[in-house]
């Protein structure tokens, strides 16, 4: 068991920038409108520099989650207790993840002369068996909403009305489970907190709170976006 864990942890996914990555779209807007080191600005604008840029961003614990599938050892049912750590969060097609784990662990099973059954394969024996399987429903990554078009213009225009002088840029979120209920309803799905992050404190923890100004800007935004949506249809 220890070797399986070590082998998996020693072979993490590599960070990479791909066309359509929300973080890349954010950086391209930042390079256009923001203040930054000129060498970084040049790297963002040159596609040939993206691999090196991905390696650099991949050193950051938070930013790397936007550039690769992350993984963490989770729950062991190996005794009378279990240890729950952050669950695996794969930011790409689940089938790619299953193939990757199979490629890493199958040779290790052969090294120890053990049987191996991977994701739906029928075991040839129940003894000395390493079996890989998934739990629950495999949820594929959320579709990426493009930062262009009429829906984006509606959102962006409303944001600029509530926050004068704001530059509206796309970004991404590594949590998407809630949006699955809207995938069959809309092709443009945005998660947006209409308030300054400086006055929203302690997300999902003790003493979570927002300033009254954040509450007011939230009310103003949703009122305005609903008013702007009256009679509006996306082509």
pLDDT band at 130 (very low <50, low <70, confident <90, very high): confident
State how far the Cα of 134 lies from the Cα of 224, in Å rounded to an integer.
44
The model's pLDDT over 177-220, given as tens digits with 9 standing for 90+, comes to 678 888 888 888 888 889 988 888 887 778 888 899 999 999 99
Environment class of 117 (CB within 10 Å of its CB; exposed 0-12, middle 13-18, buried 19+): middle
User: Which one has a higher pLDDT value, 19 or 54?
Assistant: 54
Strands (E), the chain: 115-118, 129-132, 200-201, 209-210
Instruction: Name the percent of the chain lying above pLDDT 90.
Output: 26
| pLDDT score, position 75 | 60
Instruction: Dump the DSSP string for 13-68.
Output: PPP---TT-HHHHHHHHHHHHS---HHHHHHHH-GGGHHHHHHHHTTSTTGGGGTS
146, pLDDT greater than 50: yes
Dihedral of CA 140/142/144/150: which sign? positive
| pLDDT score, position 220 | 96
Q: Token pair of 119, please?
A: 């994701």
Q: Average pLDDT of the chain?
A: 82
State how far the Cα of 140 lies from the Cα of 180, in Å rounded to an integer.
9
pTM of the model: 0.64
- What residue ranges do the domains of the chain occupy? 1-11+72-131, 22-66, 150-229
| pLDDT score, position 87 | 38
User: What fold characterizes domain 150-229?
Assistant: DNA polymerase; domain 1 (1.10.150)
| pLDDT score, position 47 | 92
């Amino acid at each position: 068991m220890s070797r399986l864990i070590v082998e998996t942890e020693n072979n993490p996914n590599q960070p990479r920038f791909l066309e359509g990555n929300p973080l890349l779209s954010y950086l391209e807007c930042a390079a256009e409108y923001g203040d930054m080191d000129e060498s970084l600005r040049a790297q963002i604008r040159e596609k040939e520099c993206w691999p090196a840029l991905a390696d650099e961003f991949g050193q950051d614990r938070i930013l790397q989650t936007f550039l690769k599938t992350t993984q963490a050892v989770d729950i062991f049912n190996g005794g009378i207790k279990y240890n729950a750590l952050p669950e695996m969060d794969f930011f790409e097609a689940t089938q790619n993840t299953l193939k990757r784990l199979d490629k890493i662990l199958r040779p290790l099973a052969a090294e120890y002369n053990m049987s191996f059954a991977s994701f739906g394969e029928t075991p040839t024996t129940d003894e000395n068996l390493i079996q890989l399987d998934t739990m629950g429903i495999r949820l594929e990554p959320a579709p990426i909403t493009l930062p262009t078009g009429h829906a984006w213009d509606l959102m962006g225009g409303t944001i600029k009305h509530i926050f004068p002088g704001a530059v509206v840029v796309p970004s991404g979120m590594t949590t998407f489970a809630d949006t699955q209920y809207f995938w069959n309803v809309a092709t443009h799905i945005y998660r947006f907190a209409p308030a300054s992050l400086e006055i929203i404190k302690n997300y999902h923890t003790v003493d979570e709170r927002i300033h009254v100004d954040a509450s007011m800007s939230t009310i103003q935004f949703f009122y305005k976006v609903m008013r702007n949506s009256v009679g509006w249809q996306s082509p």
